[in-house]
């Protein structure tokens, strides 16, 4: 008898590691689950920059102590219901900018524009503002009069009245000249319903114009960097532009003015609050050449630089063209652009498609690259 041939032995398939796609998804999921944590024992400048450190401070100190349904959304202002059924928008802000005057504005302009814009982002018509001053002993009266004149000019331009206030004086050296705190109140029309909870996949993300102008203008005005560029702050009241936008796109979902931390930070706040995925398009970001050049020299991304006269809006896809056309017809929205869109997965993450054809995660601001800009 012939010998039986041995049966072939099946070699075990080599174990395959996770695919590149699986690794990327795992990393995104790990990033999404991270939340800012307060690790410091003392306040530092990053806690006022509007990024991760600010979020950690607010969550661990203020929100933990003051938590309530009105405060918890952490929007630009609070929505207050009246017994009559009407709703008020109420917001407050402090201004510690250095220098007090800069190309395109001053602390006086900022103190009004910053607060009326926060009220406007709630969909309200700003009406009244309060103003409180902390003055350092020895501060020139002539400088104070100039600041107050700028506030009066800004209030008139915004269609609001400054109706109450306070003044405190501290010892010389205890403050940097002048600090201003303002609060604003406005009425929200019954037809307006804005909020992160309204945002849906397929919605488009718009910005009303060039980003980064204010932060770069203030930094260059300090004269510490040895950089010269013709950049002016975009400080301006946005109430009228908001009304134009809402008339053209009545289903607008959400509004925010990207001040501290810039567009990147407010997009991250939206992605987490609405539990959506936000995709930005780098090629569509409107940035002035001078601002972009200054950012390259400073090693910072224009997405993280503050604005004081721009808004970010999320609108449904079918109202996008009308929204852009309406904003572009307004002096404060001439350079409005669509910069991104809302998707479902992975939620809580902001990604940008770069001009080189790749993608990267856009995180919240870390540190304080441009301190004392508002």
- For residue 99, the domain's CATH number is 3.30.1330.10
Please tell me the predicted confidence (pLDDT) of residue 54. 74
Name the burial class of residue 153, with classes exposed (0-12), middle (13-18) and buried (19+) by CB atoms within 10 angstroms of its CB.
Answer: middle
- pLDDT-derived band at 28 (thresholds 50, 70, 90) equals very low
Q: What angle do CA 281, 286, 291 make, to 5 degrees?
A: 120
How many domains does one find in the chain?
A: 2
Q: What is the DSSP letter of 189?
A: P
State the pLDDT at residue 146. Answer: 98
Q: Give pTM, 2 decimals.
A: 0.85
330 shares a domain with 352: yes
Burial classification of residue 67, based on how many CB atoms lie within 10 Å of its CB (0-12 exposed, 13-18 middle, 19 or more buried): exposed
Same domain, yes or no: 247 and 292: yes
Q: Are 159 and 120 in contact (CB under 8 A)?
A: no
236: pLDDT strictly greater than 70: yes
Question: Using one digit for the tens of pLDDT, what is the confidence trace for 250-295?
Answer: 999 999 999 999 999 999 999 999 999 999 999 999 999 999 999 9
Least confident of 17-26, 133-142, 190-199, 355-364: 17-26
Nearest CA-CA partner of 367 in 90, 3, 63, 36: 36
At 185, is the pLDDT very low, low, confident or very high (cuts 50, 70, 90)?
Answer: very high
Q: State the pLDDT confidence band at 26, using cuts at 50, 70 and 90.
A: low
Q: Is the pLDDT of residue 227 over 80?
A: no
pLDDT at 80 over 50: yes
Q: Whose CA is closest to 97, among 171, 164, 147?
A: 147
For residues 351-374, give the mean pLDDT: 87
**pLDDT surpassing 50 at residue 97:** yes
Question: For residue 283, which phi and psi values (nearest 5 degrees)?
Answer: -65, -20
**What is the mean predicted confidence (pLDDT) over 342-355?**
94
In percent, how much of the chain has pLDDT > 90? 70
Give yes or no: residues 336 and 216 share one domain.
yes
Residues 174 and 210 in one domain: no
Nearest-angstrom CA–CA distance, 271 and 343: 10
Residue 203: CATH number of its domain: 3.90.650.10
Q: Which of 72-76, 79-83, 299-303, 316-320 is least confident?
A: 72-76
Please report the pLDDT score of residue 67 as a whole number: 87
Tell me the residue length of the chain.
Answer: 374
- 157 & 250 share domain: no
Q: Which whole number is the average pLDDT over 173-192?
A: 94
The CA-atom distances, in angstroms, between 198 and each of 54, 194, 310 are: 25, 7, 21
pLDDT tens across 317-332, in order? 999 999 999 999 999 9
Per-residue model confidence (pLDDT) at position 23: 46
What is the Cα–Cα distance from 275 to 87, expressed in whole angstroms? Answer: 26
Least confident stretch, 52-56, 124-128, 160-164, 310-314: 52-56
More confident residue, 230 or 18: 230
User: Which of 188, 205, 223 represents a domain boundary (last residue)?
Assistant: 188
Q: What does 16-44 look like in DSSP terms, one character per residue?
A: P---HHHHHHHHHHHHHH-------SS--
Q: What three-state secondary structure class fits 92? A: strand
Domain that holds residue 131: 75-188
Same structural domain, 264 and 293: yes
Residues 223 and 341 reside in one and the same domain: yes
Q: Which residue has the higher pLDDT, 7 or 36?
A: 36
Helices then strands (H, E): number in the chain?
10, 14
- State the average pLDDT for the chain: 89
pLDDT exceeds 60 at position 298: yes
Q: Judge if 232 and 351 occupy the same domain.
A: yes
Torsion region of 264: left, alpha or beta (phi above 0 gives left; psi -120 to 50 gives alpha): alpha
For residue 29, pLDDT beyond 70: no
- Bridge pairing between strands 105-106 and 101-102: antiparallel
Write down which residue in 147, 169, 188 finishes a domain: 188
The answer to whether 36 touches 52, Cβ cutoff 8 Å, is: yes
Who has greater pLDDT, 335 or 23?
Answer: 335
Q: Are residue 331 and residue 258 in the same domain, yes or no?
A: yes
pLDDT of residue 20: 45
Residue 357 Rama label (left phi>0; alpha psi -120 to 50; beta): left
Amino acid 327: pLDDT: 98
Residue 367 lies in a domain: no
Q: Show which of 162, 188, 214 is a domain's final residue.
A: 188
Give bridge partners of residue 186 from the DSSP assignment.
89, 126
């Amino acid at each position: 008898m012939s010998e039986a041939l041995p049966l072939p032995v099946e070699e075990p398939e080599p174990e395959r590691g996770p695919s590149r796609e699986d690794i990327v998804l795992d990393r995104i999921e790990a990033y999404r689950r991270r939340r800012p944590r307060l690790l410091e024992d003392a306040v530092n400048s990053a806690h006022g920059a509007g990024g991760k450190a600010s979020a950690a401070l607010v969550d661990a100190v203020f929100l933990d102590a003051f938590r309530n349904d009105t405060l918890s959304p952490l929007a630009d202002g609070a929505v207050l219901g009246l017994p009559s059924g009407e709703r008020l928008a109420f917001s407050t802000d402090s201004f510690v900018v250095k220098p007090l005057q800069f190309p395109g504005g001053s602390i006086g302009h900022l103190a009004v524009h910053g607060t009326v814009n926060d009220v406007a982002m709630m969909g309200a018509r700003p009406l009244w503002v309060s103003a409180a001053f902390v003055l350092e002993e020895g501060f020139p009266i002539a400088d104070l009069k100039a600041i107050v004149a700028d506030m009066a000019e800004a209030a008139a331009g915004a269609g609001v009245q400054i109706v109450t206030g306070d003044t405190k004086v501290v010892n010389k050296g205890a403050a940097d000249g002048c600090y201003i705190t303002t609060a604003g109140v406005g009425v929200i029309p019954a037809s307006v319903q804005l909020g992160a909870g309204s945002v849906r996949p397929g919605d488009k993300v718009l910005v009303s114009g060039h980003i980064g102008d204010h932060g770069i203008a203030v930094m260059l005005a300090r004269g510490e960097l040895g950089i010269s560029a013709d950049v002016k702050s975009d400080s301006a009241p946005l109430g009228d532009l908001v009304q134009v936008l809402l008339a053209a796109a009545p289903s607008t979902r959400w509004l925010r003015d990207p001040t501290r931390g810039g567009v990147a930070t407010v997009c991250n706040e939206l992605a987490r609050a609405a539990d959506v995925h936000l995709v930005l398009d780098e090629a569509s970001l409107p940035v002035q050449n001078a601002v972009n050049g200054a950012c390259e020299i400073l090693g910072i991304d224009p997405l993280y630089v503050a604005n004081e006269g721009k808004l970010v809006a999320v609108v449904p896809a079918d109202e996008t063209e009308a929204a852009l056309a309406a904003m572009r017809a307004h002096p404060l929205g001439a350079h409005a652009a669509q910069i991104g869109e809302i998707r479902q997965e992975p939620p809580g993450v902001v990604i940008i498609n770069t001009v080189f054809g790749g993608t990267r995660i856009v995180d919240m601001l870390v540190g304080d690259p441009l301190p004392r800009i508002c």
